[in-house]
Amino acid sequence: MAMARDAGARARGGSRRLAFFMAVLRTHPSFALGYAIVLMVVLLAIFAPWVAPYPPETADPVAFLQPPGWPHLMGTDATGMDIFSRVIWAPRIDLSIAILGTLLSALIGTTLGALVGYYQSVRGLGRFGAGFVMRSADVLQAFPVFVFAIALVAVFGQSLQSIVLAIAFVNAPIYLRLMRTQVMSIRTMRYVEAAWLAGMPDWRIIARHIVPNAMAPVLAQLSVNIGWSVLLTAALSFIGAGVKAPTPEWGSMIAMGYQNIVTGHWWPSIFPGLALAVTVFGFSLVGSSIEVLSDPARRRRLAGRLETVRGIAP
């Protein structure tokens, strides 16, 4: 009976949270737009083989630079490849690189940030190590991001793995600083001091009491950084340091088509550019919504505004 009551309570709590989330989306259309864009891009990436009308890397010399129309909805490029099919296939590459690179950077940055924030106020070797990590992060962030990413790709070699590593290195200091700031404020809380006085080891205090309560800004930053990483991937491909043509990728498609704009053939670069801009915009909106929903104070204010919706609670 107790297990059944617990299961029922969890189900009711989940339904209330879902109802609250849907109410927030109804009152914040921009958040709903962001989730719709991201969901559409993810679905296109998953179902690209069934949605795309043509193979993304098959060229038809007879159909080169055909304007948008039928049977090529977005026209063809200078090699005769269907732009609509390539725009649909491109998120598979861009999102995969961006998500892997961002998650790796978050893992590295949050781990180092939690350790630095916890030990920075401690004397001895821990404080020295924390200071060394922060000065190293300052050195990394002193370089222009794009130039630093190009240098990393040049060092590791031009491959998908190199782009993922470049994104991870570039973004890691952001998460390090976010987590460090959160941990330094949480470390002085009474429940953390109580856990320390109870003899709990440092690693357990960090993992159980500090990191879970410091993740709100990190989660919000994740979505923003995924969109930014998609843009960085496209920029590297645009200058020839990223994904190699003819692999369908928005940056390389823009690079292949921008030379034809002078002759009036705008569609080979405009359509992938629009897809890239809309995707980055969608992830930015999702990041804004996560920042609001993960903040308890903002959730309470939103719940106050949604009192007219019966049964809604954060």
Write out the DSSP string of 218-240.
HHHHHHHHHHHHHHHHHHHHHTT
Give the closest residue to 118 by CA, choosing from 194, 182, 198: 182
Output the average pLDDT for the chain: 80
| Separation between Cα atoms, residue 57 and residue 79, nearest integer Å | 10
| Per-residue pLDDT tens digits for 201-254 | 777 877 777 888 888 778 878 888 888 888 888 888 888 887 877 788 888 888
**Lowest-pLDDT choice from 61-65, 217-221, 285-289, 303-307:** 303-307
| Per-residue pLDDT tens digits for 20-77 | 677 777 777 888 899 999 999 999 889 988 988 888 888 887 888 888 888 888 888 8
Question: What structural domains does the chain harbor?
Answer: 11-305 (1.10.3720.10)
**pTM, to two decimals:** 0.81
Q: What is the CA radius of gyration of the chain?
A: 24
Phi-psi region of 105 (alpha: psi -120 to 50; beta: other; left: phi over 0): alpha
| Per-residue pLDDT tens digits for 176-208 | 888 888 888 887 777 777 777 777 777 787 777
| Separation between Cα atoms, residue 37 and residue 103, nearest integer Å | 21
8-state DSSP, 189: S
